[in-house]
Amino acid sequence: MSRLFQPLTIRGTTFAHRTWVSPMCQYSCDPVEAPGVPNDWHLVHLGSFATGGAALVLTEAAAVVPEGRISPQDAGLWNDEQAGAWRRIVDFLHGQGAAAGVQLAHAGRKASTHRPWDERSGSVPVAEGGWPTVGPSAVAFGSYAEPAALDEAGTAGVVRAFADAARRADEAGFDVVEVHAAHGYLLHQFLSPLSNRRTDRYGGDLAGRSRLLLEVVDAVRAVWPQDKPLFVRLSTTDWVEGGWDVDDSVALSRELAAHGVDLVDASSGGNVPDAPIPVGPGYQVPPAGRIKRETGILVGAVGMLLEPAQAEQVLVSGDADAVFLARALLADPRWVQRAAVALHEHGTLAWPPQYVRATRQQVPLVRPRG
């Protein structure tokens, strides 16, 4: 059996294989009639990956408070209406044999922005449906609006909001919670000395800058069932001198493991505009491998993993325990089924019975579900 198609058990959850769906923001909620509520677009978008054979489908970043949304059109999990809408999607994913995960997030100083395809970029004015933003310090991200520095009451509110969202995630039936501490959003902003210039206990050295994330993890782990996995997404480096780097990520990953985190989802960048990121196939795999080898925590690799053989090699080489796919799945929601054929595992991956007829001439060993 290929490594890619071996099952993986974490706590009480067994994933059928190790090809997982990375969070991908869709900016598709109705900000007026149903702010933060996932809708039919999210059902079809996420459901297509489950029918395509993914073992774990992670949602886009779900904001834990309204002001934590990246854009007014972002999804959330700060109220029960949103939890009920997510439940419908979770039930469909489970019906296709996929595990369901939710990424919990707060965008911090990168909140209240226009969608990527809107004519304008940057911050949405308050008069047009935007809101004031917050961060560890009053330091703007590029040309975005300057955030207000969170006081200690504000940091405590962030911790409570993540815990409340995790409780709702359990009620909605999710199998996995991932805390988003990457891509220049609030928890990453606290980690990086480039955005965190505080002099109180949430700033300064690595321990101070890591404090808020560890408090969030502890609060989430306290309400998240012990038999369910907890992931954290990290940007392993800011890609600029003086910023957060891989050494920091290794040290933090040891702490995360001690605080009950089961897997580090190793991404990079996002906290510095126009950082010189050497984007290319597998460019984020080496930091993932370092974290895995030097800490022993489970690691997921992500970033331009485009072909089945490439993804297989990441696991065979010991650089990661699972792979997260994003753009490859947008281009081909049946990437996983294609990978099963390419790696001679087509007899182990069940297709929906509605689609089996499409495989009979090419894949004689496909078995239907059910």
β-strands 19-21, 99-105: how paired? unpaired
185 is catalytic: yes
Q: How many CA atoms lie within 13 A of 247 on its CB side?
A: 4
Return d(Cα 111, Cα 66) in angstroms, integer: 10
Q: d(Cα 170, Cα 223) in Å, to the nearest integer? A: 9
Q: Are 89 and 49 a contacting pair, CB within 8 Å?
A: no
CA distances from 278 to 239, 244, 275, 307 (A): 9, 16, 9, 19
230 Rama class: left (phi>0) / alpha (psi -120 to 50) / beta: beta
Closest residue by Cα to residue 333 from 21, 16, 40: 21
Distance separating alpha carbons of residues 143 and 301, to the nearest angstrom: 31
Query: Could you say which of 185, 202, 283, 355 is catalytic?
Result: 185
What Å distances lie between residue 183 and 234, 258, 270, 283, 350, CA to CA?
8, 23, 4, 15, 34
3-state helix, strand, coil in the chain (%, to 5): 35, 15, 45
CA pair distance 164, 42, nearest whole angstrom: 22
Among 248, 253, 287, smallest CA distance to 268 is for 287
Instruction: Say how far apart CA 370 and CA 358 lie, in whole Å.
Output: 18
At 297 the three-state DSSP class reads coil
- Residue-by-residue DSSP string for 242-280: TS--HHHHHHHHHHHHHTT--EEEEE---SSTT------
CB-based contact 136:203 (threshold 8 Å): yes
Extract the tokens encoding 7. 């099952």
CA dist., res. 165 & res. 83, Å (int) = 9
Active-site amino acid positions: 185
